[in-house]
A and B are shown apart, each in its own frame.
Chain A
Amino acid sequence: MKSKPAYLTLLLALLHGVAGITILVISSWFIAISAIAPVGFNYVIPAVVIRALALLRIASGYASMWVGHNDLLARIAGVRLRVFRQLENSKITDKAFTTEALAQHTEELASRWIAWIAPLSNITFIFTNLCVVAVWFNLPSTSFLITLFAIWLVAVVVQGLGALNIAKRVTTENKAFRQQSADFLNCSAIWHLNKAMNNMPKEEGRHVINSVPSADRVWRQQTTQKDKALRASWWFQGAAFFAVVLVMSGAVSPISDFSYMPIAIVVPMILMAAPDWAGAAFHSITKFAQHKQSAKALKNLKTSPIKLLERTELHHSLTLSGYTAKNRRLPLVSATFPATGIVCISGPSGCGKSSLLQSIAGVLPSTGIKEVDGMRIPDGLITNWRYVEQEPIVLSGSVSSNLDPAGMGIPLDDMTNLLAQLGLEALLPLSMWVGKAGRTLSGGERKRLALARAILSHAKVLLVDEPFEGLDVTTQHKVCEVLNRYAANHLILVASHVTPSALNVSSTLLLEEARMDNLCAGQHAIRLP
């Protein structure tokens, strides 16, 4: 991930931290020295310095937040765009990889500066410099400060390594839970048959139900991650307090000229406050572990390129022989389709109507032979043929951007007319926002919107999956008319349970059910009349 380091964020955060610790040191020294007020002590300068530092801290605090977030947002946008570009003409093969997970990973990746690089380097810098200054001025009990620094360093490293392990485990547990719960939820219709689930007494159902998956392990790992950070910072606090007690008792450090000077209380003050300004590192290091995990997940993101077949014109006929979707145990199809007209594909559910349409369009890989005008067409997505899904995707955006996702410059009048013909007047004006955070579309509306999109893109062949499901009779009629008109010079394959009488079907392809016997025999399922 190559991107410019966020130096400004780092610098401002540093300024913020340094100003804070300096205020603490100077003000404690100042009131200590004021108490004994040596002759000729110039109290104005320290007082002014303290106030100036206070203002500096406030200003740098705001600035570092502002700059940090500005930078963060730009980075998120950058990472996401890069990921999105990489995904052009390819698909994510990992089933468990949700889009939300991808969004979260990109965010983790982008937030590294603000989440852990800045705080960690900040604290390290301050701690180192405090030690250097303490040694330079030969402050009393400097050795304790250095010891505490060493303890802090070791604790951070140990905590970081532990956090990496746990982050890995969280991911595994999460995956396992998603799998288990998906299996469990998909079976909801037969839960009532499962004796183990229903026989427990309802009144005192406080005990864990064994047959139901539990997110407990995921939560346990996440809690452990949090606890580890808390525990590390707790031990660090203990060490700091212990150092304070040792220093203040005077038992360990030899008495020198400096021992009772006002400057002597500086180191104890720093030690006392150490849990506050250095303890944050332990939470940052956890973020580091999560970042590593996200970076790994993004790196391992499995994608497979989609092979594209440029414009394929259909002039005479489309012929399939022994054709079916790959690896799906479906009967083989042999048929010839004309270049224009509507062919209805019917058959029971599970017989592979959708799979057949998808493999003709090249969305799914196939076996067998597909010939266009006598030319064999290899597997691959045919860019000017359109498969219209049963559950089409609606983009979150305006209606016009949904109808013209590629920005082909389709005239708005065409869009409006077609929507009206499909009975979608409710989606006008074209600037209306649909999808997420906009108007939600019903299943029937989505289907018709997708159909309009396909027609407007001037697809040579339309492969429409269940266009009439969930539509009332009048709307079905409208859809039929649109399809009839388009079929005058295009081929339309319609997979449907129902065939409205208004649809000008030129022929019907009946698919048989996928059964053990006809699969094993490898029979040809059908032929066109």
Chain B
Amino acid sequence: MIKEKVPNRQTLNAWSNKIDKAQSLGLRTSLMALVMVKCLSLFSLIIGFYCFSHIAHDWVVNQTPATASDVTGLAVSLGLSWLLQGAFNALSSSARMQVLNKLEQHLQHVFIERQHALIRLHSVYYWQTLWLQHLQAFADWALEYRVQQLIAVVVPLFALAVIFYVNPVIGIGLLLTLPVVPLFMIIVGKGAAALHRKHFIALERLGSLFTDRLAALPMLTSYQAHQKQTALLKDASENLNARTMKVVSVAFLSNSVLDFFATLAVALTAVFIGFSLLGELSLGPEITLQQGLWILLTVPLLLSEMKKLGQVYHQKAQAEAAKTELAPLFSCFTQNLDDSAVNAVNTATTHYHLSEPSVLLTANNLKVYDINAGQTHSQSSHATTAVDEPSVLLHAESLEVSKGDKILISGRSGSGKTLLLEALGGQRPSTHTFSEPVIWITQHPVITPGTVRENLCLNDSYTDDALMKALEAVELDAWLSLLPLGLDTVMTDYPLLSGGEAQRLSLARALLRKDNIWLLDEPTAHLPDAQHTRLAQLIERLGKDKTLIWASHKALPANWFNRFWTVSRSTPEQDAISNSKSKSEAGLKSKLGALQDEHLQGCSSVTATSSKANANQKECGLDEK
């Protein structure tokens, strides 16, 4: 367990430091401030104990009331300790909110940066969990667990110093026994981890059965399988509980070890002090009631903070889980920190644009990276080893886009047409992107729950005239006239739109905006052939003066386009770059030959290096379990 845990903790800590630095979360400052305040609070509590025991000594031994100075001391130190504790609470909660808000902002920025290319990868539920719970788990760990961790180290040292000062014999005794505590805890922890590993798969599988079967309710009903599954759940939970108890009975020992030492330390110290006071024991210096009581009050502090650490221990596991999800998302921030010459390529291409305004994009050796890779890695940094470069999902020798171009991207489904569009549109890290905003028309048109007007405007404002004109252009005017409230009709969960009409609405959205590059990602994929032809013609007509990049696996007339790009997936076996190059060139040549008969200007080929290889390996890995 230790072997597995230590690197984990280091990476979590290291990651948190990195992200702290990159995003100026102020974690370090908060951490230090919190630990400082808490330690001061406990320190003045120890002073309070001193005054307390002094007064008790006066009472019992001298039979006199407390002196004014002692009472003042007690009042001041306890008051101070209390106020500092209050400050600690306030600091802790405000720091937590601050960190949460900052993390949320960063998440929102990642969303806006990557947009649909990122969001489409996971379900809404996944993103909500990430947003609501994982950010929180990280903040809790950073500001609660880590603070407690430091306090659990510092405070015992404090207390031990005081005890040493008062009575070295007790101090030595405690010093000798204290290291035993972590030792025992490690042994117990190891045992528990071994047991957990042994039962891991079973715990994992049985633990999720309840939610799994709940999610499957409709299926269970239709197969009349509820009785059988209830019985199965019953067995499973019995099995699960038995296994969990096995692991837990060992894990609890860790807590008991702490309890054992905490209790025994108090009890034995009390007995030792009592016997010393009685004169039955004469080890070390003479002891007075004042000293004895002070020690007795201070001893619990040795282990109580460590016990509190145990109470927030679960936060670590949650933060680990959060980290695995968040780290790739936030990686672009941390990587930006590493290399300062980030946008080398972007600036280069921008210069190019200035000199030749009609060329929108010239890309030599275009590479498209994984969604979570850092921002544009410059071509010029070819000197850096291949290890540094994130995995290239898509690669193209040379692509060129001029103003007014009509480009058709073809390729089998799953070959990476969408990847290429996402890269060009700037939603996915790549070496080249358009430097001006683009408009997307995707496979599934998005209709928001608002009114027709809101659907078209999206936080912008257009005159009714402009809206009507756009709707007319996309042939939705007849549809609009049937709506009860016209532009102010609210779209519901089942809007009064067919697939084709919804796509027209998204075309109207595009028409309203002045951006001149349209990226069309199979806008007609889900329409029957007749609809497809009509809509495609409409798009072609409306996009006459725009730059169109159109991905489609349905047939479109070739004379609509002046450039043809083909995306093909190279097999995972072709790991050598030269191999894949020659292959893509071959593909290019054959395509060129076919196309030049039609007197077309150019065509290019894009190769998607398969990422499936990794995925397959993962699956295999799971099989083995």
> What's the least CB distance linking A500 to chain B, in Å?
16
Residues of chain A from 182 to 220 with CB closer than 8 A to chain B in the complex? 182-183, 185-198, 205-206, 208-209, 211-212, 214-216, 218-220
Contact A54 B266 (CB under 8 A): yes
Partner of A520, one of B221, B296, B482: B482
Cβ of A196 and Cβ of B459 under 8 Å apart?
yes
The answer to whether A437 touches B208, judged by C-beta atoms less than 8 angstroms apart, is yes
Q: List 8 A-B contacts (CB under 8 A).
A: A27-B274, A31-B293, A62-B252, A69-B252, A178-B128, A245-B75, A396-B209, A437-B208
Known: A43-B280, A65-B255. A191 touches B275 (CB 8 A): no
Count A-side interface residues using an 8 Å CB cutoff: 148
Chain B positions within 8 Å of A28 at CB level? 270, 293, 296
Whether A515 lies near B292 (C-beta < 8 A) is no
Residue A522 is within 8 A (CB to CB) of chain B in the complex:
no
A98 to chain B, nearest CB (A): 7
B387 an interface residue at 8 Å Cβ cutoff? no
Please give the distance in Å from B336's CB to the nearest CB on chain A: 12
Known: A191-B111, A268-B52. 15 other contacts (CB 8 A): A34-B273, A34-B278, A54-B268, A77-B234, A77-B240, A90-B221, A181-B124, A192-B427, A192-B439, A211-B459, A219-B136, A237-B85, A260-B63, A349-B499, A453-B223
Residues of A within 8 A of B79 (CB): 241
Query: Are the C-beta atoms of A182 and B128 separated by less than 8 Å?
Result: yes
Whether the pair A219, B97 counts as a contact (CB closer than 8 A) is: yes
Partner of A306, one of B221, B238, B623: B221
Residue of A nearest to B501 (CB): A515
Q: In this complex, what residue of A is CB-closest to B23?
A: A206
> Measured between C-beta atoms, what is the minimum distance from A431 to chain B in Å?
13
User: A interface vs B, CB < 8 Å?
Assistant: 20, 23-24, 27-28, 30-32, 34-37, 41, 43, 46-47, 50-51, 53-54, 57-58, 61-62, 65-66, 69-70, 73-74, 76-77, 80-81, 84-85, 87-92, 98-100, 102-103, 106, 174, 177-178, 181-183, 185-198, 205-206, 208-209, 211-212, 214-216, 218-220, 222-223, 226-227, 230-231, 234, 237-238, 241, 244-245, 248-250, 255, 259-262, 264-265, 268, 272, 276, 306, 327-329, 346-351, 361, 363, 381, 383, 386-387, 392-393, 395-397, 401, 405-407, 432-433, 435-440, 453, 457, 497, 513-517, 519-520
Residues of B within 8 A of A255 (CB): 65
Contact A197 B85 (CB under 8 A): no
CB-CB nearest in chain A for B621: A439
Residue from the list A54, A182, A272 in contact with B267, Cβ < 8 A: A54
> Which residue of chain B has the shortest Cβ distance to A211 in the bound complex?
B459
Task: Contact check, B263 vs A54: say whether CB atoms are below 8 A apart.
Answer: yes
Distance of A100 Cα from B185 Cα, bound (Å): 33
Q: A81-B230, A436-B212 are in contact. Are A183 and B449 (CB under 8 A)?
A: yes
Residue in contact with A241 in the complex, picked from B82, B437, B482, CB distance below 8 Å:
B82
User: B446 touching A439 by the CB < 8 A rule?
Assistant: no
Give Cα A265–Cα B297 distance, bound, in whole angstroms.
Answer: 12
- Are A205 and B109 in contact, with the CB atoms below 8 A? yes
Please, which residue of chain A has its CB at the minimum distance from the CB of B443?
A189
- Please give the distance in Å from A463's CB to the nearest CB on chain B: 11
A411 to B217, CA, bound (A): 25
Are B201 and A437 in contact (CB-based, < 8 A)?
yes
Q: Please judge, given known A-B contacts A103-B211, A237-B85, whether A187 and B448 are in contact too, CB under 8 Å.
A: yes
Pair B82/A234 contact, Cβ less than 8 Å:
yes
CB atoms of B439 and A193 under 8 A apart: yes
Size range of the chain B interface in the assembly: 35 or more
B residues 59-101 in Cβ contact with A at 8 Å: 59-61, 63-66, 70-71, 74-75, 78-79, 81-82, 85-86, 89, 93, 96-97, 100-101
Q: Please, which residues of chain B bring their CB within 8 A of the CB of A178? A: 128
- Residues B219 and A250 in contact, CB atoms below 8 Å apart: no
Does B460 lie within 8 Å of A195, measured CB to CB? yes
Complex Cα distance, B601 from A353, in Å, reads 43
Please indicate the chain B residues that have their CB under 8 angstroms from the CB of A23 in the complex: 263, 266-267, 270
Bound Cα distance from A89 to B226, whole angstroms: 8
Residues of A within 8 A of B352 (CB): none
B225 at the interface (CB under 8 A from A): yes
A388→B108 CA distance, assembly (Å): 38
The answer to whether B220 has its CB under 8 Å from any CB of chain A is yes
* Nearest CB on B from A357, distance (A): 13
B104 A214 Cβ-Cβ under 8 A: yes
Contacts of A387 in B (CB 8 A): 222
**B10-18, B112-120, B365-373, B541-549 - the one binding chain A:** B112-120
Bound complex: CA A165 to CA B388 (Å): 53
Chain A residues within an 8 Å CB radius of B233: 80-81, 84
Expressed in whole angstroms, the Cα–Cα distance for A206 and B273 within the complex equals: 59
- B275, A34: Cβ atoms closer than 8 Å: yes
B204-251 contacts to A (CB < 8 Å): 204-205, 208-230, 232-234, 237-238, 240-241, 244-245, 248-249
Contacting B270 at CB < 8 Å: which of A30, A453, A516? A30
- Asked if residues B458 and A88 are in contact (CB atoms below 8 Å), the reply is no
B residues less than 8 Å from A195 (CB atoms): 458-460
- How long is the Cα–Cα vector from A43 to B66 in the complex, in angstroms? 28
- Please judge, given known A-B contacts A31-B293, A99-B214, A230-B89, whether A188 and B116 are in contact too, CB under 8 Å: yes
* Given A103-B210, A209-B108, A437-B204: A50 and B501 interface contact (C-beta under 8 Å): no
Partner of A348, one of B201, B208, B271, B531: B531
Measured CB to CB, the nearest residue on chain B to A245 is: B75
Taking chain A's interface residues, is the majority helix, strand, or loop, or is none over half, making it mixed? helix
Q: Are A30 and B274 in contact (CB under 8 A)?
A: yes
Knowing A57-B263, A182-B124, A439-B619, say if A187 contacts B63 (CB, 8 Å): no
- B296 in complex: contacting residue of A27, A37, A245, CB < 8 Å: A27
Cβ contact within 8 Å between A351 and B498: yes
- The answer to whether A245 and B74 touch (CB under 8 A), given A36-B61, A329-B496, is yes
- Contact status of A99 and B440, CB under 8 A, knowing A47-B275, A437-B205: no
Interchain CA distance A231-B279 in the complex, whole Å: 46
B224 near A383: Cβ-Cβ < 8 Å:
yes
Q: Is the CB of A395 within 8 A of B212?
A: yes
Contact of A58 among B93, B263, B509 (CB under 8 A): B263
Report A53 CB to chain B, min CB distance, Å: 7
CB within 8 Å for A245 and B278 given contacts A58-B260, A219-B100, A265-B60: no
Q: Is B349 an interface residue (CB 8 A)?
A: no
Residue in B227, B277, B509 whose Cβ sees the most chain A Cβ within 10 Å: B277
Residues of chain A within 8 A of B228, CB atoms compared: 405-407
Given contacts A223-B93, A406-B228, contact A363 B60 (CB under 8 A): no
Q: Does B613 contact A (CB under 8 A)?
A: no
Report if B622 contacts A (CB, 8 A).
yes
Contacts of A27 on B, CB cut-off 8 Å? 266-267, 270-271, 274, 296
> By the criterion CB–CB under 8 Å, are B229 and A405 in contact?
yes
User: Which of B59, B131, B623 is in CB contact (< 8 Å) with A181?
Assistant: B131
Chain A, Cβ-Cβ closest to B200: A437
Known: A189-B440, A351-B498, A405-B220. A440 touches B619 (CB 8 A): yes
In the complex formed, the residue of A with least CB distance to B201 is A437
A212 to B459, CA, bound (A): 12
Query: Given the complex of chains A and B, what is the CA–CA distance between A227 and B92 in angstroms?
Result: 9
Residue of B nearest to A265 (CB): B56
- Return chain A residues, CB-CB under 8 Å to B209: 396-397
Given contacts A215-B104, A406-B223, contact A84 B288 (CB under 8 A): no
A50 engages B271 (CB within 8 Å): yes
- Given A37-B278, A198-B112, A215-B104, residue A77 in contact with residue B237 (CB < 8 A): yes
Q: Does B494 contact A (CB under 8 A)?
A: yes
Contacts of A219 in B (CB 8 A): 97, 100, 136
A395 in contact with B216 (CB, 8 Å): yes
Which residues of chain B come closer than 8 Å to A346, judged between CB atoms? 528
Closest A residue to B118 by beta carbon equals: A188
Also in contact, A248 and B74, with CB within 8 A (given A47-B271, A62-B253, A348-B527): yes
Pick the contact of A92 from B75, B217, B244 — CB < 8 Å? B217
Please determine whether B225 and A433 come into contact, CB atoms closer than 8 angstroms: no
Ranked nearest first, the 9 interchain pairs of A and B with the lowest CB-CB distance are: A27-B270, A35-B289, A188-B119, A77-B237, A406-B225, A54-B267, A405-B225, A349-B526, A407-B228
